[in-house]
A and B are shown apart, each in its own frame.
Chain A
Amino acid sequence: MARSASARGIQRGGDRATEFRAPTWWDVHQDRVVGFLMFLPLVTLIVGLTVYPITRVLTTSVYQQSLYSQVAEYVGVRNFVTVLQSEAFVRSVRNTLVFTFGGLAIQMVVGLLIALLVHAKFPLRAPVRGAMLFSYLVPYVVAALTWRFMMSDATGILNYLIRTSGLGIPASWFGSPDYAMLGVILVNAWKNFPFMVLVFLAQLQSIDTQLYEAGAVDGTTRWGAFRYITFPSLLPIILVVGMLRTIWNFNNFEVVFLLTQGGPLGRTETLPLLIYRFIFGEFSMGRGAALAVIVFLILVVMSLIYWRLYERAQGKFE
């Protein structure tokens, strides 16, 4: 296909060379115009799909509007005041922080340990690496389904094991005020730790093996090699994925919604769940949008902090 096109091209080029006409505006700018036309759909869609909706959220946040109504009344910052003063807000900020950073810590540690494990050489390494990622690939509904099933009263295997273990803890975690949060954090960690494995593994593979060889010559122990070679080279990436994961945990809606729907007694109600409840439970578009704006501002601040940390870490180790 390519060959016939270039053959035709040569022929046409030949024609043009014999004409000797002055180049028109189109001849000169054609290339850039085509380039711009190729860029245009992307810009249009991005503006339509993000910029416009975001401005829409901002305007909605200063109006009072019911879910299924077109009528909107301007109320200024009243939505923000109502949201910030509500008891549910303080509670869900606390819940979100516990959910986000509790989950982050577990995912980091498990992800790092498993990355180190599958970085080592052993038989069957390739299929083990691949299968280790399965939980990251399955839909959230499937993750929620199987954990709910394992925890369910009449049929759950975990439920049965906890019941018969004699530990005296609730056998059905997602319904227990004290264990529901731990439950949702663990399921979120199970679902998302492979992302950490992927990233850490890629970084481990990029470490120059000569560093370890030099270390071995100097008689470094395994711990020493980890402490002085592996860990420092992972640190910048730990901060980057730490930032990404913090944001994703912070924004996560599915895990909690599918496992506890924010209950029991609001013990697992995180900010995205509260936004959802304002809109689809209390039919208040304005309050939902106001809280969404607040959440967004919190996220911006958090990612700025991480960014500073990242820059500092890079300066230190490079």
Chain B
Amino acid sequence: MHTFGRRAKLERVALAIVALVTLFIVLFPLIWMLLASFKPNVELFQRPPRMLPQDFTWEHYVELFRFTSFPLYFLNTVMVAIFACILGITVSLLGVYSITRFKFIGAKPFTFAMLFIYMLPPILLAIPFFQIWFNLGMNNSLVALSITYLTITLPFSLWILRPYIESIPRSLEEAGMIDGCTRFKAFVLVILPQAVPGVMAAFVFTFVVVWNELLYALVLISDESKRTVSLGIASLILETSVYSWGLVNAAGVVATVPILILFAFVGRMMVAGLGAGAVKG
């Protein structure tokens, strides 16, 4: 199989070139956004458009952070996402553990039914959530928004954590329990440390999904000071005509960077998990 002949070598270089060109095309919209965020307004309207900024500037980022509410949107999104992710993961961890270790009647169909949540159109759930929070006087509440986001973080973290918890050998916790640990203590001291990679993957994945979410925020939040990053950008680009493209592009870059950093952090793990999960399903 492994012949390192001239022909094989040439073929690999050719493949690499094809792959890089494909990658450039695929990433072009994002590259273009990044470059545009550093161009002064005059250059944005330049015809023909040029790829690289001629007169590199940070002015759009300065404007974004000093004269808009985006720093607040950031804070809102981070708080909402962290709350929804941590609560979702904690509840799924406990639930997955007890499903895999005990035989409750109906536990199996129940976990199967969880997959069903993937099928629900988000707009279908948005209707009752709007009603529920409105009736409770909690529209425009970030707490209500985070609780609503549990509909996303719960199934996702359940889906990601299950294989991890299942693969932890029972003999480990049994050893702990023979030593006198209670079930819960065995869970905390024996299972949790083993599940750390799964928890990390679940956290990053659900964080990204919540960070990117728009529909629930759009439906539940109308107060400008409660907006999330996605909602903030959406309201910028939905104006009938956008004049400050530099600012909008800078906002887009700033909304993307945390996601890519998180992804780089646990990227390999996530790719493996995502792929494997989907194949098994």
User: Which A residues fall within an 8 A CB radius of B?
Assistant: 1-2, 5-6, 8-13, 16, 30-32, 34-36, 38-39, 41-43, 45-46, 49-50, 52-54, 56-57, 60, 68, 70, 114, 117-118, 120-125, 128-135, 137-150, 152, 154-155, 157, 160, 164, 190, 198-199, 201-203, 206, 209, 213, 237, 240-241, 244, 247, 250-251, 253-254, 258, 261, 272, 275-276, 279-280, 285, 288-289, 292, 295-296, 299-300, 303
Contact = CB atoms under 8 A, between A and B. Distances in A.
Q: Return the 3 tightest CB-CB contacts between A and B, nearest first.
A: A9-B180, A202-B275, A42-B95
**Centre residue among A138, A140, A300 by max chain B CB count within 10 A:** A138
Contact of A141 (B107, B185, B234): B234
Contacts, number: 297
Given A39-B99, A146-B32, A117 B45 contact: no
B79 interface: no
Given A135-B27, A145-B237, A198 B95 contact: no
B180 A60 contact: no
Contacts of A10: 179-180
A70 B275 contact: no
Nearest to B259: A137
Q: Which secondary structure dominates chain B's binding surface? A: helix
Nearest to A140: B214
B199 to A, nearest CB: 16
Given A149-B245, A209-B1, 9 more contacts: A32-B102, A35-B98, A38-B94, A134-B30, A142-B252, A157-B32, A198-B275, A202-B275, A251-B123
Contacts of A125: 16, 19
Given A9-B180, A42-B92, A50-B117, A135 B128 contact: no
A50 B120 contact: yes
6 contacts: A11-B180, A35-B104, A137-B208, A141-B230, A253-B215, A292-B123
B248 A145 contact: yes
A201 B95 CA distance: 31
A121 B2 CA distance: 11
A45 B183 contact: no
A102 to B, nearest CB: 19
A268 to B, nearest CB: 15
Nearest to B92: A42
A133 B263 CA distance: 10
Given A142-B33, A202-B279, A279-B127, A130 B45 contact: no
B242 to A, nearest CB: 7
Contacts of A152: 242, 245
Contact of B118 (A53, A138, A247): A247
B56 interface: no
Contacts of B154: 42, 45-46, 49
Contacts of B230: 139-141
B72 interface: no
A117 to B, nearest CB: 6
A57 B124 contact: yes
Interface string B155-195: 00010000000000000000010111111110101100100
A1 B91 CA distance: 24
Contacts of B269: none
Nearest to B219: A280
Interface string B211-231: 110110001000000000110
Interface in B254-279: 255-256, 259-260, 263-264, 267, 271, 274-276, 278-279
